[in-house]
Structure 1
Amino acid sequence: MGPLSVTWAVLLGLGMPIAFTLGVAALLFMWWNDMPLVVIPQRMVGGIDSFPLLAVPFFILAGNLMNTSGITDRIFHFSHSLIGHMRGGLAQVNVLASVIFSGMSGSAVADAGGLGAMEIKAMREAGYRPAFAGAVTVASCIVGPLIPPSIPMVIYGVLADASIGRLFLGGVVPGLMTAGSLMVMITLMARRQNFPTEPKATWSETGRASQKAFLPLMTPFIIIGGIMLGIFSPTEAAIVASLYALVLGVFVYRELSAKDLWTVILQTGRTTASICFIIATATVFAWVITTLQVPQQAAAYLVGLTRDPLFLLLIINLVVFIAGFFLEGLAIMILVVPVMIPTMAQVGIDPVHFGVVLVFNLMIGLMTPPMGIGLFVVSGVAGIKLEDLIKEVFPFLIPLLIVLLLLIFIPSLVTALPDFVLGADR
């Protein structure tokens, strides 16, 4: 394992993209140890040959369609009509809109890049500091992969052979807790820094905004309702979400032209290809470490340290949190899950609980430098200096880390809803 990890670390330090570092490190290790290289293409194809993974491109497509067809604009104005009058109201609207949008796209990047650009523009025009507006956007986009649907949950479910439906439901309460904690933080900051206020929307204004947003607001109910009633699987739900967004954009709102649709398809294809390539090369890397019995060794080592599930979760999440400073979340997940799942089974940690906590921890990595993807996305779309954005982001880590600790120490916050809706998984 030593030469493999050293090779991977060296390639990563040289600036090679994460997908290539995983694949090249595995290739060099296998070649040096006379392992059959034919395994590489077999494992790469096998790694992405999964029906549940079909949900990934369709949820990406749904998010891109919503960002292009005016749906995000309707969500923002609906949220603004509800709470825009509060002290720091536009910052609160930023969080609420992310909660609503998260029930449609399942992607933090889609939230930050699409809805976030609109939110930052509105906050700037209202007198908020651009860096603060960007920081709120980065923090609130973390809600996206928690409240279903969720692209990271789908990937975790495939890697851990866990129920994606239970993972979706398990993310609801943590997602709402995250949004609530951010809104409390914004309230405290608003009082201290005297953030601007706006006139309260009239009943007629709220009614018009609700009417315009009604059809998009039905998306989460269609997705989750369909899964709970057994009408379609989580993978099929992704297709339904894409078709629904397409119908709204083309036939209802008529804001999605043929040119826009082609652009959305190309953008979706590029994002999907990037994710699938990482999964494919990481599958080879994971096969090598499994062949070397690293999961068994890690399980024995960790169980030797403690058999206390909570303490073990704390150790793992500390390692994942630190890794999030330097690695992209998907790569961490693919590396960690195959190694840790046997350990989780030994100490009796629910795979759904572990999965939701892991995804939440990885999403915090979106806002931690130097590799926080959310920071780069918001900095790019809003033209905010990265160093200014980083300074404003740090206070929002406090409520997020508090929620993370609560989720670790109180597993029922994750497992209670799936157990109630789908029955206890024993």
Structure 2
Amino acid sequence: MIVLVIGLAILLLVLGFEMFLVLGVSAIATKEAFYAAIPDPALVQKLIGGINHTTLLAIPFFIFAAQLMGSGQIASRLVGLARAFVGHTSGGIGHTAIGGAMAFGSVSGSAPATVAALGRMIYPEMRASGFSQKFSLGLIVSSAETALLIPPSITFIVYGWMTGSSIARLFAGGLAVGLVLGLAFAVLVMIEAKRSGIRATERTSSRERLQALIAAGWALGMPAIIIGGIYSGTFTPTEAAVVSVVYAIFVETVVYRDLGFGKLCEVTEQAAVSTAIIFILLAFGGLLSFFVTLAQVPTQISQFLALIDAGPITFLLVVNVCFLIAGMFIDPNSALLILVPPLFPVATALGIDPIHFGMIVTLNISLGMITPPFGLDIFVASSTLGKPVMSIIQGVWPFIGANLVVLLIVTYVPEISLFIPNLIFG
């Protein structure tokens, strides 16, 4: 059965079908071919019931908050704060890009939103400072990956919904992994700055840093509310998402006065379209996952691994290869929906911690965002900056290499993923 489902999905992809149709048609074809006794209304119940989950309410609100911040001043003030503290270092604007992406990611949870919000601000400054076009484009696209790891992360919310894992613990684990990935990119920036002869600039004064901190005060309130509220137990992730929207609207319309009513309506429409796309994928992905589970695919994978005497090390290598291949051809959310249901039960059966497995999965999803030929962030950057796709692809290769090194380390050193969750939650 699974061979036929995969074959049909590949055929639909080759024919150019949209991803939600690939998932939906594969699920319906599986039902008609192998489970015809299941009544048709049950499919509708699975479609609707699969996304009828309180946890998923966080997704539209975080998307809305990200759109608000990217269209207003919160994003630019966070970048200004990062520039004040790291802009003087060798290749400082590159470090500013990384710091700005991590700061924006801490309030948006979306990599494409981070690319769109920061690309126009950072790219001209990187070129003016002496970085090549390829490296500048590659850094902007790749640093946005950290938004999927630094909490709050929409990917963590979806993974937690699919596996029943604690979203708060996932957020805590993602903080460490995101910092490790950011440091790896910072090393590439230093190497490129030295190779290109880019000198360090004058260090900003304490007064200038204080001014930048004050200017970003309202912007910093967002991550403080979200992260502090979740970890202190004041908010659930869903409640934190709602609060973030209310806070963003207040700051951008009342404090900064940067968003008028017309712009607010436009941002709301954009957020609604983005939300609809994600939830259609979640609905059809959940339906396909139902039939995958019904066919006992996880059990078959476990039996196969036992037959070849494969332990956790080999299994995790297979997981990384599967996600790497999937990331080349399908969007990250679809890869998550297709691969996690059969692989997660096997991981837990092998004694792999669900939070650690979530870090591996999300790091793979992050890598898929920049992996040619269909990396989503590549096309977002091309549209935002008006640059050819091939120029961006040429620039991301060093960052893909750094990403693979970090993935290898995180995969086989679980303490990186589990240290902060265990420290906070025991």
- Give 1:139 shift: 1.0
Q: 1:217 aligns with which of 193, 217, 220?
A: 220
Distance 1:311 1:32, change over 3 A: closer
Alignment of 1:294-333 (within 5 A): 294-333=297-336
Distance 1:220 1:303, change over 3 A: farther
Q: 1:185 aligns with which of 167, 172, 188?
A: 188
**Mapped pair 1:23 → 2:34:** no
Specify the SS of the correspondent of 2:355.
helix
Residue by residue over 1:307-339, the C-alpha shift from the partner in whole angstroms, topping out at 9 and shown as x without a partner, is 522331122112111211111111111111110
**Mapped pair 1:409 → 2:415:** no
Asked if structure 2 preserves the Cα contact closer than 8 Å seen for 1:154 and 1:164, the reply is: yes
Asked if structure 2 preserves the Cα contact closer than 8 Å seen for 1:130 and 1:384, the reply is: no
Asked if structure 2 preserves the Cα contact closer than 8 Å seen for 1:135 and 1:389, the reply is: yes
**Mapped pair 1:200 → 2:228:** no
Residue by residue over 1:268-317, the C-alpha shift from the partner in whole angstroms, topping out at 9 and shown as x without a partner, is 10000000000111111111222222121112212333452233112211
Q: 2:178 maps to which residue?
A: 175
Mean CA deviation greater in 197-206 or 87-96: 197-206
* Percent of residue pairs bearing the same amino acid type: 34
Q: 1:285 aligns with which of 280, 288, 294?
A: 288
Specify the SS of the correspondent of 1:171.
helix
Q: 1:260 maps to which residue?
A: 263
Alpha-carbon distance in structure 1 between the residues aligned to 2:128 and 2:60: 35
Alpha-carbon distance in structure 2 between the residues aligned to 1:101 and 1:341: 30
Mean CA deviation greater in 20-29 or 152-161: 20-29
CA RMSD across the alignment: 1.5
Distance 1:325 1:296, change over 3 A: same
Specify the SS of the correspondent of 1:175.
helix
Q: 2:10 maps to which residue?
A: 9
Alpha-carbon distance in structure 2 between the residues aligned to 1:125 and 1:188: 18
Q: Which amino acid in the other structure matches residue 19 of structure 2?
A: I
Asked if structure 2 preserves the Cα contact closer than 8 Å seen for 1:366 and 1:374, the reply is: yes
Residue by residue over 1:198-225, the C-alpha shift from the partner in whole angstroms, topping out at 9 and shown as x without a partner, is 4432333222211101221232222121
- Give 1:111 shift: 0.5
Q: 2:97 maps to which residue?
A: 94
- Give 1:248 shift: 0.8
- Give 1:412 shift: 1.1
**Mapped pair 1:385 → 2:394:** no
Q: 1:240 maps to which residue?
A: 243
Alpha-carbon distance in structure 1 between the residues aligned to 2:219 and 2:67: 14
Q: 1:107 aligns with which of 107, 110, 119?
A: 110
Alpha-carbon distance in structure 2 between the residues aligned to 1:394 and 1:196: 24
Q: 2:49 maps to which residue?
A: 46
Q: 2:137 maps to which residue?
A: 134
How many positions carry a matched residue from both structures? 423
Alpha-carbon distance in structure 2 between the residues aligned to 1:300 and 1:235: 38
Gap regions ≥5 residues in structure 2:
none
Alpha-carbon distance in structure 1 between the residues aligned to 2:302 and 2:56: 27
Q: Which amino acid in the other structure matches residue 24 of structure 1?
A: V
Specify the SS of the correspondent of 2:233.
coil
Asked if structure 1 preserves the Cα contact closer than 8 Å seen for 2:130 and 2:196, the reply is: no
Alpha-carbon distance in structure 1 between the residues aligned to 2:66 and 2:305: 39
Residue by residue over 1:87-127, the C-alpha shift from the partner in whole angstroms, topping out at 9 and shown as x without a partner, is 21111110011111111111111101112221113223444
Alpha-carbon distance in structure 2 between the residues aligned to 1:345 and 1:201: 49
Mean CA deviation greater in 7-16 or 283-292: 283-292
Q: Which amino acid in the other structure matches residue 23 of structure 1?
A: G
- Give 1:197 shift: 4.7
Alpha-carbon distance in structure 1 between the residues aligned to 2:167 and 2:311: 26
Q: 2:169 maps to which residue?
A: 166
Alpha-carbon distance in structure 1 between the residues aligned to 2:183 and 2:330: 28
Distance 1:230 1:294, change over 3 A: same
Specify the SS of the correspondent of 2:369.
helix
Q: TM-score, normalised by structure 2?
A: 0.96
Asked if structure 2 preserves the Cα contact closer than 8 Å seen for 1:134 and 1:382, the reply is: no
Specify the SS of the correspondent of 1:144.
helix
Alpha-carbon distance in structure 2 between the residues aligned to 1:263 and 1:44: 29
- Give 1:196 shift: 5.6
Q: Which amino acid in the other structure matches residue 210 of structure 2?
A: G
Q: TM-score, normalised by structure 1?
A: 0.96
Asked if structure 2 preserves the Cα contact closer than 8 Å seen for 1:131 and 1:384, the reply is: no
Residue by residue over 1:117-157, the C-alpha shift from the partner in whole angstroms, topping out at 9 and shown as x without a partner, is 21113223444333321110111001001010000000000
